[in-house]
Amino acid sequence: MALLADGVSALFIDGKFSEGSAGTFPTANPATEEVLGVAADADAQDMGRAIDAARRAFDDTDWSRNTELRVRCIRQLREAMQQHTEELRELTISEVGAPRMLTSMAQLEGPVNDLAFAADTAESYVWNQDLGQAAPMGIPTRRTIAREAVGVVGAITPWNFPHQINLAKLGPALAAGNTIVLKPAPDTPWCAAVLGELIAEHTDIPPGVVNIVTSSDHSVGALLAKDPRVDMISFTGSTATGRSVMSDAAATIKKVFLELGGKSAFVVLDDADLAGACAMAGFTASMHAGQGCAITTRLVVPRAHYDDAVAAAAGTMAGIKPGDPNDPGTVCGPVISARQRDRVQGYLDSAIAEGGTFACGGGRPAGRDVGYFIEPTVIAGLGNDARVAREEIFGPVLTVIAHDGDEDALRIANDSPYGLSGTVFSADADRAARFASRMRVGTVNVNGGVWYSADAPFGGYKQSGNGREMGLAGFEEYLEIKTIATSAS
């Protein structure tokens, strides 16, 4: 079956496809501005039906206790996505504007493959742990610790890596025995809607276990956080929205797991290969037009070599032309929307207003009037207090900041409301490791190491979120812990 064959995606609620009560909304290609088709537009009532279906599937079926069924279903979903890889690839390129080269990695094939980790973890997990017999308060008691699913999970996701983020929630949440309502970003509804088609056609996932509710209205997502029938929110998006989700969830004290924004530092110590490190920083900042939460967007370099560092980063970024994401050589495609492009341009203007200069880039590329493209841009001449050094831009923009030695570099790296990720380069591996251990972030790349993988937890310190996605920690986010004490007298 061809996915989304008629150019319209539906809601997927209780195992059935339905139209949205608010009609439809368009989804477009950010590289061409062409409308690809429409998605069902859910309203509050539709969301209510989805939550109800997820609640019933959790309370009234054996899904949460049938590990063998869950493992089989996750493997079926993985296989179905793998069978449809080429269709999904074209969809991802056209709806997300994701460069083709990234679809064989974190934009598609990586996270699909990583569903195996969720299934394997559920299969091998020790769900009940015998604590043995003791006599607390003099009463002989046998204690068992049971791990159980949290219940109904509301998953709210952004548009930048839709498959990665949807699946990094769906896989472990289902593996742990939860049921789900997935509310994807309005910019990428189809990347989520296809999951409904694949689940219905290719898996034994029972009705109501996975519900997919697309909507153009952010407040429909907010209902998940407020609803008492939802036990947990798993949210990825901006820190501002995360704050609102957390406050909406407070009334029902539901568990809130947040993956939020970042303003990560790429630190080059004075003994490192400056040109090589800065070139890597420039490449990283340009990938997917800088639309990655963990991208290192502050390049922190020795003051004595500041100009060389700016030149090296600019040399790389000036050579990365924003281009057609279909082209296998493209590193930097468009940003997701005109609104996002204008937002990035606003930050670039603020850098100039604060006294910064552009070592390359600075705006829309000449000759590209169609599509939401922004030139990879290096900003020089500003300190860590500049707006472009403090706020998340989500565009291909790198701000170069001078440091006066390791302690100063560390101070700058940690002087951020965020704490998602970081990088440190040094010729001395021990020095780099010491520096990494003092960075207040959830993941660190030391001298080019890659922290992204199915078995490695990912998440943020400070205002970059709480909890961890991926790895065993990412699975256990979706579990409650119950201590059972049985009288042994």
Catalytic residues: 259
Angle (deg, nearest 10), helices 406-414 and 429-437: 40
Between CA 124 and CA 131, with CA 127 as vertex, the angle to 5 degrees is 125
Q: How far is the CB of 295 from ligand NAD (least distance, A)?
A: 9
Q: How far apart are CA 295 and CA 290, in angstroms?
A: 7
State which residue, 240 or 481, has the beta carbon closest to ligand NAD. Answer: 240
Tokens matching residue 278: 């800065």
State which residue, 239 or 377, has the beta carbon closest to ligand NAD. Answer: 239
CB 157 within 8 A of CB 165: yes
User: Which stretch, 38-46, 184-192, 299-307, 358-366, contacts ligand NAD (CB under 6 A)?
Assistant: 184-192
Query: Strands 479-487, 141-149: parallel, antiparallel or unpaired by DSSP?
Result: antiparallel
Report the residue from 18, 238, 337, 414 that binds ligand NAD according to the rule CB under 6 A.
Answer: 238
State which residue, 177 or 262, has the beta carbon closest to ligand NAD. Answer: 262
- Determine if 325 is a binding residue for ligand NAD (CB under 6 A): no
Whose CA is closest to 50, among 192, 253, 244? 192
User: Which stretch, 38-46, 157-165, 307-315, 366-374, contacts ligand NAD (CB under 6 A)?
Assistant: 157-165
Q: How far apart are CA 4 and CA 2, in angstroms?
A: 6
State which residue, 76 or 236, has the beta carbon closest to ligand NAD. Answer: 236
Q: How far apart are CA 362 and CA 379, in angstroms?
A: 8
State which residue, 235 or 358, has the beta carbon closest to ligand NAD. Answer: 235
Report the residue from 157, 286, 296, 330 that binds ligand NAD according to the rule CB under 6 A.
Answer: 157
Count other C-beta atoms under 10 Å from residue 23's C-beta.
Answer: 11
User: Which stretch, 5-13, 104-112, 230-238, 379-387, contacts ligand NAD (CB under 6 A)?
Assistant: 230-238
Report the residue from 20, 262, 302, 457 that binds ligand NAD according to the rule CB under 6 A.
Answer: 262
Counting Cα atoms < 13 Å in the Cβ hemisphere of 97 gives 32
State which residue, 185 or 413, has the beta carbon closest to ligand NAD. Answer: 185
Tokens matching residue 87: 């269709």
Query: Is 245 in a helix, a strand, or coil?
Result: helix
Give the 3-state secondary structure of 127-140.
CEEEEEEECHHHCC
Residue nearest ligand NAD, Cβ-based: 237
- Determine if 241 is a binding residue for ligand NAD (CB under 6 A): yes
Amino acid (one-letter) located at 196: G
Report the residue from 95, 109, 259, 324 that binds ligand NAD according to the rule CB under 6 A.
Answer: 259
- Determine if 153 is a binding residue for ligand NAD (CB under 6 A): no
- Site map (CB under 6 A) of ligand NAD, residues 281-300, x = contact: ------------x-------
State which residue, 203 or 216, has the beta carbon closest to ligand NAD. Answer: 216
Identify any residues that bridge with 422 across adjacent strands, giving them in sequence order: 265, 444
DSSP string, 286-332: HGGGG--TT-EEEEEEEGGGHHHHHHHHHHHHHH-----TTSTT-S-
Q: How far is the CB of 217 from ligand NAD (least distance, A)?
A: 8
Q: How far is the CB of 189 from ligand NAD (least distance, A)?
A: 10
Between CA 330 and CA 338, with CA 190 as vertex, the angle to 5 degrees is 55
Q: How far apart are CA 331 and CA 320, in angstroms?
A: 7
H or E element: which one contains 175?
helix 162-175
Residue numbers 21-50 binding ligand NAD by CB under 6 A: none
User: Which stretch, 158-166, 279-287, 300-308, 429-437, contacts ligand NAD (CB under 6 A)?
Assistant: 158-166
Residue numbers 187-226 binding ligand NAD by CB under 6 A: 218, 221-222, 225
Report the residue from 12, 159, 257, 373 that binds ligand NAD according to the rule CB under 6 A.
Answer: 159
φ/ψ of 447, rounded to 5, equals 55, 35
Site of interaction with ligand NAD (CB under 6 A): 156-161, 165, 183-186, 218, 221-222, 225, 236-238, 241, 244-245, 259-262, 293, 392, 394, 420, 460, 465
